[in-house]
Structure 1
Amino acid sequence: MGHGYYSEDLIEKIRYSNDLVDVAAEYTKLKEQGNSYIGLCPFHNEKTPSFNVNPDRQLYYCFGCGEGGNIFNFVMGLEGLNFIETVEYLANKADIDLPTRDSSQDKRRRNKKQQIFAVHKLATKFYHYLLLESEVGNQGHQYFLDRGFNEETIKKFRLGFAPDRWEQLYKFLSRKDYSKEILAKSGLVIPRKNSSGYYDRFRNRIIFTIFDHRGQPIGFGGRVLSSDDKPKYLNSPETPIFDKSHHLYGLNLAKRTIRKKEEAIIFEGYTDVITAYQAGIKNVVASLGTSLTKEQAKLLHRYAEKVYIAYDADTAGAKATLRGLDILKKEGLVVEVIQLPIGQDPDEVINENGPSKFKELIEQAVPLIEFKINSILPEKRFKDIDDKVAAFKNVLPVLNQIEIEIERDEYLGFVAEKLGIKEKNIGVLKRELNKYRKYKVQGNKDIKSKNRYNNTNDLKKELDKSQTSGYDSAIKGLIQIIINHHEFIPKLKQRLKPDEFIDDKYRQIIALIYRFYEANTDFKVDDLLEEINDQEIKKLLLRLSIQDVVSGDLDKMFFDHISKVKEHQFRMKIDNLDQRIKQAERENEFSKLDQLLQEYQKYQGLLRKEGN
């Protein structure tokens, strides 16, 4: 005899038709070690793995809390089921049909949740049968074939078709002796508003069956075949067995591959998952909505250490991607973003270019922080310091999320490069980031601190100062050399004209030195100072003349200073041209634009040449 309802032979068949390693791995991440698998115990909290599964004996034991037994003990302990419910649960996983028990009394013993599971299993068979075996489902069947799904894939994902009838599913389920209360709670039928009775929720739609990670059908997604029908997509409502925030579409089929690779790819749509799976990319799931949830992240972390996210490259998809990234990261997953071609979803990429193209995109995926920075700082030329300061302020919250200082410094350099800020000036950005981090810790409670932080003038002044300090030093160095070593004046005249100097005071000083040198064979700084009326310029020249020239190779210092001056002047010219190019683009002045672009390229070339 068996355990009251089922024979010992049937129970043994169910036991050995399920692999304890697979079942246990749905609850904790297992790694092979010798002849066993080990992992963190799902029965108690621990940091060091002490949970062991022996695949040969199909037994488990935790050396931390002492829990152990066979597959039935495992499921009963974690799912809170009694023995009969566990047998039925594992039979369903193994797709083993159970003999019917005495109907009325047994159904009353079942709790409502188990009845709703059973109703969904029947509905899955109903929709799937109509799709494949009935003329009613021909249109839906052809739709899936046109999408490129083969018969094996259609069966594996249990795709279906809901007929254009008001009560066909309701009548089918009612004949199975389920109460109206259970059918209503299942979400598959809806009570009529103005009369008694119920009608089917899904009508004239292709059906995507949603399974939980254990492989039990728990809901459906329906898509219209005609563009006239609304809404285009219709999903099961929340029920006692279905909360879309707790599940991932396709996980029941993908979990083994995900566990093996320790990587998962998250899509947005059902068809993306099915197309990728059929193409051999099997570690794929879809979120049941546009934004990932904490529960979905926890579920995925049972199987994966790394997650790729590949949502459609439209505005809604991009926003959902950003929200989902933070949730996955907080759960401890390594996150990278697959950047899809604009206007294409994963399904289209695979169908039009083959799975190899999508695998290339996986290889080119970018880390979470880089994706966020790229989203905030698109590829563009930042026209001036104000533009750069505003952009850097926008990216500070992203940089602040990075806990490891080395990684934070690395991305700070990445941001500086995108903003066109020299490597030597990264220290300015780092000081601003540290100020922001301090503000986030205490500034929210301190209005004065908030006001101090929101003052962008400090950062602007620092960047202005850092970007011009090298230029100022170079010019001052040149002036010091030529007033102390007059033989360098002709060399400087050959390479730099007074009007090439951007700053008016330096332009005046250089012009004055050139004129004085030509007019006086005996060059004396004292005589030169006597000819200067502008007191500010006189003080500057006097200060430079009394300072000693830095010791070293004068020729090398002289030419290094000239290079720095030219580099700065080329950059200023390029920045000016950049603004003029943008203005010409806005005003559609194409002939002027072509001329400006040529000039822009010329100065870029001169800058590169000077840098080398």
Structure 2
Amino acid sequence: MRYSDDIIEEVRMKNDIVDVISQYVKLTRRGSSYFGLCPFHNEKTPSFSVTPSKQMYYCFGCGAGGNVYNFIMEYENYSFGEALSHLADRAGVELPKIEYSREAREKAEQRANLLEINKLAAQYFYYQLRREGGKTAYGYLTGRGLSEETIRKFGLGYSDKYSDDLYKYLKGKGYSDELLRESGLFNVDERRGMYDKFWNRVIFPIMDVNNRVIGFGGRVMGDGKPKYLNSPETKIFDKSRNLYGLNVARTTRKNYLILCEGYMDVIAMHQAGFTNAVASLGTALTSGHASLVKRYTKEVLLLYDSDGAGIRAALRAIPILREAGVTSRVVSLKPWKDPDEFIKNEGAEAFEERLARAMDSFMFRVHIAEQEFAMDAPQGQNQFFERCAGMLLELSDELERNLYIEAIVKEYGRYGVGTEDIRKRVNTLALKGTPAEKRIQPKSGTPETKKKESAADKAQKLMLTWLVNYPGIFEQVEKYISPSDFVVPLYKEVAQMLFEQHKEGETNPGKLLNAFTDSEEQREVASLFNATIHLENEGEQQRAFSDALLRIKEESLKEKNRTWDPSDMAGLQELIKAKKELEDLGRKRQQLHISFN
């Protein structure tokens, strides 16, 4: 679904970016821009800028950037359409009814049907729990200490022992086999045809933050395998972007969320009054989960099982949350295995006290590292402090690093180590290069290999930034370069749009960004308008401008030479001519006078 450019621009113009972002980030005016702490990564010194004249934001720390649409998409985890609708409501703009394409209409109808199927399935399972056949399941839930109110609140149910009950029920509602297959509620094989995925299990409906049923978890009663069975990924269910219980926890009055392992953990905690508990859905915590959490809180208490698997899960989650800008602490449940056991044995008040004593996540990592070394031997102690130095080196903020050095010395000073000893070890390790720590993986799941920016790329980005900040230089720039001289495809596309805007009498980067609805692409385009270089006087400005312009022309010529067809003699003449013009321009570079005032 795509609205007209005029509507998209009207909504953007009626939502001043400073006003919108101020609702999420505390901004302070500094010159012609506003600055604050970036909501997309953890920082102590403000590097997040919002520029009213460009109607753009940009973080010089993590590179997040775009116009007001991209901010809402990134912060609220919205699609472009959802961000447009949100901002239109905010500005009082009524979006026109538009005709769906056949493909878009079918996609929307399929999604609506899948949500309806899941809703009917949840109602069916809930009903089955209260029938004669559901007595064992109901007894299992009440035996685990769940009240009728809690069972009703979470919509818990039961899937009958017959493997085609739900299928027959939904077929009776008129749904096709193709749509039922897409729901993830059924399996298909040649011998049995289509049959229920969940049977003879206690059922936990999974809801999104808008309280819509998007999937299910089923727990076997007894010793069957697998213990838990979850819905597969579908058109409405993405495990990496949803958390169990968040539909309730997001309205909590607490200023933190409690992240635990399973459905029963969440339910038991909510029943005990800890309504800010959530859990991932059968998967390890992902960056998508962390971004979702960031929408509702800036602190998470990690409450995994106290066994080895739970500790490993906590260690994986800590850096993912940190990368998203969410601080974390780790709760020890010992001697109990999980929160359900703890609350049953010690009560809610003791559990509240245990939460209050949650350990700082960095120091938790230090404590776990300690267990890997023979601390009764000098060699083991040395290896331990080497590991600590490596973890400290991950901290980019110097004050934060110093505070943790003090904390480590306070706790492990009995081994004769002082703050200077640790600091020296960190510095020594830094001189050897970046430590080979576990890095956060990008969304693609492949290691992030950030290419070093070339001089040619830098020149093109500087020129685009100057054209936006000082549109008066267009007249001079157009004498020597055109959009076709930008050799990076995205830069060329942006240059073409800027040059066209200039011809129409307005250079408007905020409007230009409307053309890029993909969040990552808009972030990259925003970086093109925020390239920086330190220039102290007019002479340095002149040299920087002439260097950038010549570099752009040189790279453009190289690209033309690379793609030249040897049989094209006219093209060869053009290349020879362009090369001569570039040489002449280099000799007359002093004529490339420009003013940034």
TM range, normalised to the smaller chain?
0.5 to 0.7
1:238: Cα distance to partner?
Answer: 1.1
Q: Are 2:169 and 1:172 aligned?
A: yes
Structure-1 separation of matches of 2:315 and 2:435: 26
Equivalent of 1:78, from 79, 82, 91? 82
Counterpart secondary structure, 1:158 = coil
Structure-2 separation of matches of 1:49 and 1:275: 47
Q: Is the Cα contact below 8 Å between 1:130 and 1:161 reproduced in 2?
A: yes
Name the aligned partner's letter for residue 214 of structure 2. I
Structure-2 separation of matches of 1:327 and 1:165: 42
Q: Which residue of the partner structure matches residue 330 of structure 2?
A: 337
Q: Is the Cα contact below 8 Å between 2:373 and 2:384 reproduced in 1?
A: no
For residues 19-70 of structure 1, give each alpha carbon's deviation from its aligned partner in whole angstroms, at most 9, with x where no partner exists.
xxxxxx9xx9699xxxxxxxx999xxx966999xxxxxxxxxxx968999xx
Equivalent of 2:113, from 98, 112, 115? 115
Q: Which residue of the partner structure matches residue 285 of structure 1?
A: 278
Q: Is the Cα contact below 8 Å between 1:264 and 1:304 reproduced in 2?
A: yes
Equivalent of 2:347, from 354, 357, 361? 354
Counterpart secondary structure, 2:211 = coil
1:245: Cα distance to partner?
Answer: 1.0
Q: Which residue of the partner structure matches residue 233 of structure 1?
A: 228
Structure-2 separation of matches of 1:181 and 1:309: 41
Structure-2 separation of matches of 1:183 and 1:301: 34
Taking structure 1 as reference, are residues 387 and 423 closer, same or farther at Cα in structure 2, changes over 3 Å only?
closer
Taking structure 1 as reference, are residues 79 and 237 closer, same or farther at Cα in structure 2, changes over 3 Å only?
farther
Q: Which residue of the partner structure matches residue 192 of structure 1?
A: 189
Q: Is the Cα contact below 8 Å between 1:308 and 1:335 reproduced in 2?
A: yes
Name the aligned partner's letter for residue 241 of structure 1. I
Structure-2 separation of matches of 1:75 and 1:263: 26
For residues 147-175 of structure 1, give each alpha carbon's deviation from its aligned partner in whole angstroms, at most 9, with x where no partner exists.
11111111110000000001000010111
**Runs of 5+ in structure 1 lacking a partner?**
1-24, 32-39, 52-62, 69-73, 83-106, 445-612
For residues 521-551 of structure 1, give each alpha carbon's deviation from its aligned partner in whole angstroms, at most 9, with x where no partner exists.
xxxxxxxxxxxxxxxxxxxxxxxxxxxxxxx
Q: Which residue of the partner structure matches residue 432 of structure 1?
A: 425
Q: Is the Cα contact below 8 Å between 1:416 and 1:422 reproduced in 2?
A: no
Q: Is the Cα contact below 8 Å between 2:220 and 2:227 reproduced in 1?
A: yes
Aligned residues: 363
Counterpart secondary structure, 1:198 = strand
Q: Which residue of the partner structure matches residue 249 of structure 1?
A: 244
Taking structure 1 as reference, are residues 29 and 189 closer, same or farther at Cα in structure 2, changes over 3 Å only?
farther
Structure-2 separation of matches of 1:49 and 1:156: 46
Q: Could you say which structure has the greater relative contact order, defined with CA pairs below 8 angstroms and 6 or more residues apart?
A: 2
Structure-2 separation of matches of 1:225 and 1:49: 58
Q: How does 1:42-53 map to 2 (within 5 A)?
A: none
Q: Is the Cα contact below 8 Å between 1:413 and 1:423 reproduced in 2?
A: no
Taking structure 1 as reference, are residues 405 and 173 closer, same or farther at Cα in structure 2, changes over 3 Å only?
same
Equivalent of 1:149, from 143, 146, 151? 146
Equivalent of 2:264, from 242, 266, 271? 271
**Runs of 5+ in structure 2 lacking a partner?**
1-19, 27-37, 41-47, 56-66, 73-77, 87-104, 438-597
Q: Are 2:195 and 1:202 aligned?
A: no
Question: Over aligned residue pairs, what C-alpha RMSD do you find?
Answer: 3.6
Q: Which residue of the partner structure matches residue 292 of structure 2?
A: 299
Counterpart secondary structure, 2:364 = helix
Taking structure 1 as reference, are residues 201 and 79 closer, same or farther at Cα in structure 2, changes over 3 Å only?
farther
Which stretch of structure 1 is more off in the superposition, 273-282 or 384-393?
384-393
Structure-2 separation of matches of 1:289 and 1:358: 24
Structure-1 separation of matches of 2:69 and 2:85: 21
Counterpart secondary structure, 2:433 = helix
Taking structure 1 as reference, are residues 288 and 442 closer, same or farther at Cα in structure 2, changes over 3 Å only?
closer
Q: TM-score, normalised by structure 1?
A: 0.54
For residues 164-205 of structure 1, give each alpha carbon's deviation from its aligned partner in whole angstroms, at most 9, with x where no partner exists.
00100001011111110110111101112335x311000100
Counterpart secondary structure, 2:250 = helix
Taking structure 1 as reference, are residues 230 and 240 closer, same or farther at Cα in structure 2, changes over 3 Å only?
same
1:437: Cα distance to partner?
Answer: 2.0
Name the aligned partner's letter for residue 141 of structure 1. Y
Taking structure 1 as reference, are residues 236 and 267 closer, same or farther at Cα in structure 2, changes over 3 Å only?
same
1:397: Cα distance to partner?
Answer: 2.5
Q: Is the Cα contact below 8 Å between 2:39 and 2:325 reproduced in 1?
A: no
Q: Which residue of the partner structure matches residue 127 of structure 1?
A: 125
Q: TM-score, normalised by structure 2?
A: 0.56
Name the aligned partner's letter for residue 225 of structure 1. M
Considering only CA atoms, is the larger Rg found in Structure 1 or Structure 2? 1
Equivalent of 2:215, from 213, 219, 222? 219
Counterpart secondary structure, 1:239 = coil
Name the aligned partner's letter for residue 158 of structure 2. F
Name the aligned partner's letter for residue 257 of structure 2. A
